[in-house]
Amino acid sequence: MFKPNFRYINKIVRLLTRISAAREAILNSPLIPKWEVALRREAIIHSAHSSTSIEGNRLSLKQVSDLAQGREVMATRKDKQEVLNYLNVLENIGELTKGGSIVEKDILSIHHKVTKDTLDNPDDCGVYRRRYVVVVNRFTGEVFFRPPQNEDVPGLIKNLVEWINSGEAKELDPVIEAGIAHYEFVRIHPFIDGNGRTTRVLATLILYLQGFDTKQFFCLDDYYNSDRPAYYKALQSVNQKTLDLTDWLEYFVEGVDVSLSAVKERTVRLSSDRLRKAKRGQISLTERQMRIVEFINRNGKIKASDIARMFSISRQAALKEIGKLVKLEVVLPKGEKRGVHYVLS
């Protein structure tokens, strides 16, 4: 069976501790608004854009967003199909496997879903490579990685899947497990094309099944896409003789930390210290109410006139909007008559 080689260096341990704290802060934030759906949708759109962009897709983030909303965009059929495939996979992440365990058939199915109607040879969709390929720099043509031989692929994938489902893997932090699987899958390079996208879906699926990101709030692919050379450099940092994954895992864990910290900032800033300590449970807010609370967090208070300007509504409508938050006991009125303002309760 596959047995990963890595060390827990101080930076990895420190980052894992930060990640755990950030995740708890997100899950326990007393203000989890109705925009959970919107936050999840945004993460999926960013993932679809970044993961396909890494491999040469030319659609902009706005075009990906338009496609996700069913709008038509001016682009090649292949570029659009790659994005639509990735969106579909992420939107149905919980249906990619049955029973909570990943099996070899699931991996082939993921590749089929990711590459459907996009490959030059449709027979390569959802099957292991039958022609040898090398990994080259798309810009220079330089060969920077030679994967295992075709005949070795099924056995290597079988070993990886057995490890993913093993007790040893489940005892690891989910982030470490996902990072290890990510690299080993890239190293095996089991398909003619679409290996990167399939790899990143696999890592996302592991985190999902381990209960780490069941709400799909964060987008790791943005981290890779923001500095592609660093992503490839981290993958190439692994010595092919020792397969020591420590440097790669340091990069991977740092990416999760950066991505999760961004989500934490967006959720936690909605809550005052007092609200975070409250025991009355989570409060559901509309997106408009969320913006009002964010304004108070930044400025200490808000007036009806501020709300009216913020949403281009009448003062009467603004008073009605803030009145809902007063009723929810999220904010308190201070002052009298025209001088009244509102602070977090």
Q: How far are the Cα atoms of 98, 125, 163, 275, 320 from residue 220, in angstroms, in the given order?
A: 24, 25, 23, 29, 39
- Between CA 30 and CA 275 the distance in angstroms is 6
> Would you say the pTM of this structure is higher than 0.75?
yes
- Between CA 181 and CA 231 the distance in angstroms is 16
pLDDT at 31 over 60: no
- Between CA 177 and CA 121 the distance in angstroms is 33
Q: How confident is the model at residue 344 (pLDDT cuts 50, 70, 90)?
A: confident
Tell me, what's the pLDDT at 35?
55
- Between CA 172 and CA 252 the distance in angstroms is 15
Q: Show the tokens assigned to 102.
A: 């990943």
Question: Averaging pLDDT over each range in 18-32, 185-199, 329-343, which range is the top one?
Answer: 185-199
Which amino acid would we find at residue 321?
A: E
- Between CA 330 and CA 343 the distance in angstroms is 9
Q: Show the tokens assigned to 19.
A: 């990640």
- Between CA 211 and CA 24 the distance in angstroms is 12
For the segment 312-333, the average pLDDT, to the nearest whole number, is: 91
pLDDT at 182 over 90: yes
- With pLDDT > 70 as the criterion, what percentage of the chain qualifies? 92
- With pLDDT > 90 as the criterion, what percentage of the chain qualifies? 64
Q: How confident is the model at residue 12 (pLDDT cuts 50, 70, 90)?
A: very high
Tell me, what's the pLDDT at 266?
77
The residue that leads in pLDDT, 190 or 278, is: 190
Return the residue matching tokens 């990640």: 19
Minimum mean pLDDT range among 69-78, 269-278, 312-321 = 269-278
Minimum mean pLDDT range among 73-82, 90-99, 113-122, 330-339 = 330-339
- Domains of the chain in start order, with CATH, are 10-268 (1.10.3290.10), 285-344 (1.10.10.10)
How many residues are recorded in the chain?
Answer: 345
pLDDT at 139 over 80: no
